[in-house]
Amino acid sequence: MFQKLKKYQFLFEELVKRDFKKKYKRTVLGMAWSILSPLLQLLVMTLVFTKFFGRNTPHYMIYIFCGTLIFNYFSEATKGGMSTIMGNARIFTKVTVPKYLFLLSKNVQSLINFGLVLVVFFVFVAFDGLAFTWKFFFLLYPICCLILFNIGVGMILSALFVFFRDIQYLYDVFTMLLMYLSAIFYTIDRYSYKGQCAFLLNPIYLFIRYFRKIVIEATIPTIWFHLLMLADVVIVLGLGCFMYKKYNTKFLYYV
């Protein structure tokens, strides 16, 4: 895979540049929207939900920011990755190139946006009085896992989208449901022990919870928490690679 990326390095770089230009075309602020959009969303959620959910939650703004940071990155990367095969059909039907290049280029764009917002997140952490400790280096683990998880989900969605166009509408409903099940603006303390354990079945909640434990609680999750997150990544990425390999030739007949 890495050898092919090196072979098609020029094409990969051009795809990333194209995606950036396409996303911010005819906008006045351009890339600034990568930071402004999640910040405005954070402001609205903080104003709305502080009165109802955040009265007794320490560092509630950072609590919400952890959730929106992770969920927005996941949503942008996977929704954008869904249409990568169909959107680049004119290229790979004429030239033989690995189809996952288009998905990876879209994920690089989303990753850069995520990185910009992550810097702002750390600024908010400092202003909120939370201490930066050596434990922050452990954030690299959920970030790397989330990158691979997004690629895996994107591969599954883009493969399904070729055969079933309805998947885009179903996924919109699914992401909305996932947002409410990820405890972005509320705590799960009010639920029973079994109910709290049920949240661990949601991979996005795992990533959000990891960030909160490191940044807000200054504690490192258990080894089982790490293994559960890794298992989600391996399953999703493995399924995505399997679908791309199995249906690689069939894509040409449906685009």
Alpha-carbon gap, residue 79 to 156, rounded angstroms: 11
State residue 221's pLDDT score.
95
Alpha-carbon gap, residue 153 to 83, rounded angstroms: 12
Map tokens 């702002």 to a residue.
120
**Per-residue pLDDT tens for 27-66?**
555 566 667 777 777 777 776 666 666 557 788 889 999 9
26 located within any domain = no
Task: Report pTM.
Answer: 0.86
Tell whether the model's pLDDT for residue 174 goes beyond 90. Answer: yes
67 located within any domain = yes
Q: What is the mean pLDDT of residues 119-131?
A: 91
Nearest to 174 by CA among 43, 38, 79: 79
CA dihedral 54, 55, 56, 60 (to 10 degrees): 40
State residue 141's pLDDT score.
97
State residue 32's pLDDT score.
65
Map tokens 């079945």 to a residue.
201
The radius of gyration of the chain from alpha carbons, rounded to an integer in Å, stands at 19
37 located within any domain = yes
Query: What is the SS3 assignment for 99?
Result: coil
Query: What is the SS3 assignment for 228?
Result: helix
How many distinct structural domains can be found in the chain? 1
**Per-residue pLDDT tens for 80-121?**
888 887 776 676 666 666 677 778 888 888 898 899 889 889
27 located within any domain = no
Q: Which domain holds residue 230?
A: 2-21+32-254
